[in-house]
Amino acid sequence: MSDSREDDFAGHALAQDSDDHRWAFGTGFTDALEGVDTTVPKGVDAEALAAYCLMLGDDALILSHRLQQWMTRAPELEEETAIGNIALDLLGQARMLLARAGKADGTDRDEDAFAFWREENEFRNVRLVERVDADFAEMLARLLVFSTWRLAQFDALRSSRDPVLAAIAAKGVKELTYHRDYAARWVVRLGDGTDKSHRRMQAAMDVVWPLVDELFRSHPVEAALPGTAVEGSTLRTGVDVVIDTVLATATLERPVAAALAGVRGRYGRDGLHTEAFGYILAEMQSMARAHPGATW
Amino acid sequence: MIRSGPAWDIAAAVPDPELPMVTLADLGILRDVRQDGDAVTVTITPTYSGCPAMREISQDLRHRLQRAGFADVRIETELSPPWTSDWITAAGRTKLNAAGIAPPPAAGPRSAGPIPLTLTVPVRTVACPRCGSVRTAVTSQFSATACKALYRCQDCREPFEYVKEI
């Protein structure tokens, strides 16, 4: 191999002497936590930690997928780039969190096993991330709520007793700060824009609102992880302050809407999902399931 | 941390796959190289959680170290402390600028208290890497890679990229 070829990265990936086959539909060739000490600290409930990491990982995985559906459909190239970058950050967070779950529960399942081979009722994401965006305003309304909430959550998790979770959170905080600013600026621009953009931005906030309450429900898994997890209910005040500031600047009303009910006390975190979820899961999983273990 | 020796020198010289004008050491993503006989453990850190270049970086490190005679090469990821653009070296900044990519100012330590919401696009003084003018404007906070934003120079009218401070 000559030196010029040595600098050719594509050449490396295709080099015949490489024994590094990529799994065609996933990431099975790398471990997002390779070399990271994944020992569960003493006194931390490993089962609960795994369940908690799945919750946070699934939130990011599914919203990332929904955002990816905007590729080739965004109103401007710059916005498409922004949405794609945000989706990529969330996918990266999901990869590490799912890998962390597989290490914590002792099964050593990798991220792909979780993403492609679980059934609908095994996913632990909140229902906010499931719905299809009807327009650009709905994408922004959800992203504003989600990134504000997740930023508050990750900011608190920086001091988690699990050092892996704390490290993932500290990294994510920087990314989510950009996501929140992006969504907030657009909500202000559209809300405080023309009559039409104001009306559509308000409608988008109204549509998303019934799914917001669920974000602040505390879950038994969180209660089983004192000092390691963050209880959803503790995040409400801080998130409200930010969202109310954005809505006021955008001349939008804070929606008044009844929360989407659970079923017999079960919500997204318990594996109960909305109709939209089956479709997005089918799209995400069908290829991997049609050709299990395929490589190229 | 050993920042010298044959294994360090090889690892440090590996170019970044997405910003090939700078090396892993220039970007500050090469965190540690431990050498024990013909075994080497290299520790790298991602710029962003979803950085898709990590795989190519690992593979390239492995190839180059093996070609230099290190039989046992391990690549490890370090997540904490998270990468900051402040780790880009002075040499790295010069190379980025020469390639038309404006380097970031100091991100500095985070202030205490809640993370501030920024409803207006932050005004930074970013000099155009082509003509040096500081009359530049951001066109997008995101660009072709996770670590960059898009700018336009209002004097020479050329668009350029800018490595975001994080």
Contact list, B82 vs chain A (CB under 8 Å): 167, 170-171, 174
Look at residue A22 in the predicted model and tell me its pLDDT: 52
- Are A250 and A187 in contact by the 8 Å Cβ rule? The answer is yes
pLDDT, mean over chain A: 90
Chain B: closest CA distance from residue A261 (Å):
31
DSSP state of A120: G
Subunit contact A167:B63, Cβ cutoff 8 A: no
Look at residue B146 in the predicted model and tell me its pLDDT: 79
What digits encode the pLDDT tens for the residues A35-88?
888 999 999 999 999 999 999 999 999 999 999 999 999 998 889 999 999 999
Look at residue A9 in the predicted model and tell me its pLDDT: 44
How many residues are present in chain B?
166
Q: What is the mean pLDDT of each run of 10 residues along chain B (166 residues)?
A: 80 92 95 91 90 85 93 91 93 94 84 84 85 91 85 94 89
Look at residue A294 in the predicted model and tell me its pLDDT: 77
The share of chain A scoring above pLDDT 70, in percent, equals 90
Asked whether the predicted pLDDT for residue A4 surpasses 80, the reply is no
Contact list, A183 vs chain B (CB under 8 Å): none
The token pair that represents A164 in the structure block: 């892996």
Q: In what order do the strands lie in the sheet with B148-153?
A: B101-102, B159-163, B148-153, B136-140
Look at residue A252 in the predicted model and tell me its pLDDT: 98
* pTM for this prediction: 0.90
Between A21 and A63, where is the model more confident? A63
Contact list, A9 vs chain B (CB under 8 Å): 17, 56, 60
A155 to chain B, any CB pair closer than 8 A? The answer is: yes
Subunit contact B80:A30, Cβ cutoff 8 A: no
The most confident of A18-32, A189-203, B47-61, by mean pLDDT: A189-203
Nearest residue to A224 (alpha-carbon basis) of A48, A69, A50, A1: A48
CA distance A58 to A50: 12
CA distance B28 to B8: 13
Residue of A nearest to B49 (CA): A92
Asked whether the predicted pLDDT for residue A196 surpasses 90, the reply is yes
Look at residue A17 in the predicted model and tell me its pLDDT: 43
A74 to chain B, any CB pair closer than 8 A? The answer is: no
A13 to chain B, any CB pair closer than 8 A? The answer is: yes
Look at residue A171 in the predicted model and tell me its pLDDT: 94
Nearest to A182 among B79, B80, B141 (CB): B141
Nearest residue to B29 (alpha-carbon basis) of B65, B53, B6: B53
Asked whether the predicted pLDDT for residue A16 surpasses 50, the reply is no
A58 to chain B, any CB pair closer than 8 A? The answer is: no
Chain A: closest CA distance from residue B90 (Å):
23
Among A9, A56, A173, the strongest candidate for a mutation testing the B interface, having the largest count of B CBs within 10 A, is A9
Instruction: Write b or e for each residue in A124-136: b if 16 or more Cβ atoms lie within 10 A of its Cβ, otherwise e.
Output: bbbbbbbbebeeb
A89: left (phi over 0), alpha (psi -120 to 50) or beta: alpha
Subunit contact A12:B20, Cβ cutoff 8 A: no
Preceding omega of B81 cis (within 30 degrees of 0): yes
Chain A: closest CA distance from residue B78 (Å):
6
What digits encode the pLDDT tens for the residues A266-287?
999 999 999 999 999 999 999 8
A238 to chain B, any CB pair closer than 8 A? The answer is: yes
- Are B38 and B70 in contact by the 8 Å Cβ rule? The answer is yes
Residue of A nearest to B78 (CA): A36
Subunit contact B82:A170, Cβ cutoff 8 A: yes
Asked whether the predicted pLDDT for residue A198 surpasses 60, the reply is yes
- Are A246 and B117 in contact by the 8 Å Cβ rule? The answer is yes
Nearest residue to B118 (alpha-carbon basis) of B164, B51, B152, B50: B164
Look at residue A6 in the predicted model and tell me its pLDDT: 45
Asked whether the predicted pLDDT for residue A141 surpasses 70, the reply is yes
CA distance A164 to A99: 11
- Tell me the pLDDT band of A3, cut-offs 50, 70 and 90: very low
Phi then psi for residue A25, to 5 deg, are: -115, 0
